Structure 1
Amino acid sequence: MKKLFIIGVFALFVYACGNEKKETTDDAAPVEDAQKKADPSYDTNRGEGKFKDVKLADKLDNAMALRGEKIADLKCLSCHKLTDEKLVGPGWKGATTRHKPEWIMNFVTNTDVMIDKDPKAQAMLEICMVRMPNQNLDDAAARDVLEFLRKNDGVK
């Protein structure tokens, strides 16, 4: 409530001074700002890790998605919701449209390094304020979780 009051007073001050610049509280802003500040040689679409090119089929692999759902139930869904709502970590809805498959695979298999080096991961940490623990997923488990994310995003 106090934060809302301060924002309101600030907005009134800006308006009274004739400044037409609008302040936003969009959660995507820290991610966009981090990408602009990133080292130009760093690939923010791929992230930091061994996955350089992840090939995805147009059609969902239901067996992989089912395995990924079981892994997510065990290791992920206590902190993430399948909607766009933040719980402890960000919601998963739209994750496969916001991030390249390589970035997702690198993040879930190389979590600590990604949080330390990747501007998008660091920006999400600023929003969520809790560092994601490394779940020690192997490559196959990470790929299964990626397929479950695709299913959650409507891939058939």
Structure 2
Amino acid sequence: MKSLKTIAFATLAFALFSCGGDKKTDSIPTASSETSATTETTTTASGPADYDPKRGLGPHENVDVSKFDPAMAAAGKKIADVKCTSCHKPTEEKLVGPGWKGVTQRQTPEWIMNFISNPDPMIDVDPELQKQLELCLVRMPNQGLNDTEAREILEYMREIDGAK
């Protein structure tokens, strides 16, 4: 019985600390603090009434994905290796957060970029993200991505899903 309590406590501790929290990301510099400030202002002023489930909340409205860019996808993979793969796998398999396979087929490019560049406002209002939070038990931290980095990660996600 004592070992069961120890295992339960260790599992809870892992879930709480696995991806860090907002305090860790406060010190991450961004390439464009002006863009981050604009994003923050835009998204925090929005609420559930402003939420568009096809676009999410944020500044990204029309993301051109008509042509695949392998160099951008390679840059996105490098960023993902540093900031994302401790919680996400490029497969359908859940790690801490959900796997990325198929995400570009389930969500629009605008939604993905708005979510990965500033997840907090969307988690607060999106019912699907709230369900995901109940499954994962860890809120996705804001990684401080600028628009270019978010676009590169999107292109890497597109590559995972077979874009050529």
| TM-score higher than 0.5 | yes
Cα displacement (A) at 1:122: 1.4
TM-superposition CA deviations, 1:86-139 (whole Å, max 9, x none): 000000000100111011000011111111122222121112111011100000
> Root-mean-square deviation (CA), in Å?
1.3
Give the one of 130, 142, 149 matched to 2:138.
130
Q: Gapped runs of 5+ residues in structure 1?
A: 1-38
| TM-score of the superposed pair, with normalisation by structure 1 | 0.71
User: How is 1:96-115 mapped onto 2 (pairs within 5 angstroms)?
Assistant: 96-115=104-123
Q: Retained in 2: the 8 A contact 1:44–1:119?
A: no
Read off the aligned partner of 1:53 and give its amino acid letter. Answer: N
Q: Does 2:61 correspond to 1:52? A: yes
What is the distance in 2 between the residues matched to 1:123 and 1:53? 27
Please state whether the residue corresponding to 2:62 is helix, strand or coil: coil
Read off the aligned partner of 2:102 and give its amino acid letter. Answer: G
Q: Retained in 2: the 8 A contact 1:48–1:117?
A: no
Q: Retained in 1: the 8 A contact 2:88–2:100?
A: yes
* CA gap 1:134/1:41 in 2 versus in 1, 3 angstroms: closer
What is the distance in 2 between the residues matched to 1:78 and 1:145? 15
Read off the aligned partner of 2:158 and give its amino acid letter. Answer: R
40-49 vs 60-69, which moves further: 40-49
Q: Retained in 2: the 8 A contact 1:44–1:120?
A: no
Q: Does 2:124 correspond to 1:116? A: yes
Read off the aligned partner of 1:51 and give its amino acid letter. Answer: H
For the pair shown, which has the larger CA radius of gyration, 1 or 2? 1
Counterpart position of 2:94: 86
Counterpart position of 1:7: none
How many equivalent residue pairs?
117
Read off the aligned partner of 2:53 and give its amino acid letter. Answer: T
Read off the aligned partner of 2:157 and give its amino acid letter. Answer: L
What is the distance in 2 between the residues matched to 1:73 and 1:41? 33
Counterpart position of 2:20: none
Counterpart position of 1:3: none
What is the distance in 1 between the residues matched to 2:132 and 2:115? 12
What is the distance in 1 between the residues matched to 2:111 and 2:142? 15
Give the one of 83, 87, 98 matched to 1:75.
83
| TM-score of the superposed pair, with normalisation by structure 2 | 0.68
Read off the aligned partner of 2:129 and give its amino acid letter. Answer: A
What is the distance in 2 between the residues matched to 1:46 and 1:120? 13
